[in-house]
Amino acid sequence: MPYSKLVRIDKYLWCIRVYKSRSLATDACEGGKVKIEGKSIKPSHHVKPGEVVTVQQGYVKRAYRVIDLLEKRVSAPLVKNFAEDITPLEELDKLKTEKMVSFMGRFRGSGRPTKKDRRLIEKLRE
């Protein structure tokens, strides 16, 4: 593999929009939240096409298959050309549950509901 196609894992995760900044991706790698084949990796680890990268984000463990490497951050619609989201449905259901739990935890007297709160209330009534 030519040298120009080597990409660090922290840069790759930032480029495919898993993290908002490269420093957040680096911190996640150093904190053991990013794994390849079940092993925690350092931010300087080079990614190869075909590898499966697992990222722990809160309660959810997301999985991505590396399709192709890239040097620069791309727009959201183009991410599918470089990474395939293979997160199991059980993990995605945790996201929905987490949203509902955070909504139900609203304190009485905390003010008017936001637009997001109102939409969730309408969704619950359906």
The per-residue pLDDT for range 22-73, each reduced to its tens digit, is: 999 999 999 999 999 999 999 999 999 999 999 998 888 999 999 999 989 9
Strand order in the sheet with 60-66: 39-40, 34-36, 52-57, 60-66, 83-85
What is the distance between the alpha carbons of residues 86 and 22, in angstroms, rounded to a whole number?
22
For the stretch 61-115, pLDDT in tens is 999 999 999 989 999 999 999 999 999 998 888 877 766 665 555 566 677 888 8
Consecutive H or E run containing 63: strand 60-66
Q: Is the pLDDT of residue 4 over 60?
A: no
Looking from the CA of 86 toward its CB, the CA atoms found within 13 Å total 13
The full DSSP string for 2-17 is: -GGG-EEHHHHHHHTT
Q: What is the mean pLDDT of the chain?
A: 87
* pLDDT score at 5: 79
* pLDDT score at 54: 96
- Interior angle at CA 20, CA 1 and CA 106, nearest 5: 145
The full DSSP string for 93-108 is: HHHHHHHHHHHHTPPT
Q: In angstroms, what CA-CA distances link 39 with 3, 33, 36? A: 24, 10, 5
* pLDDT score at 107: 64
Domains of the chain: 1-87 (3.10.290.10), 89-126 (no CATH)
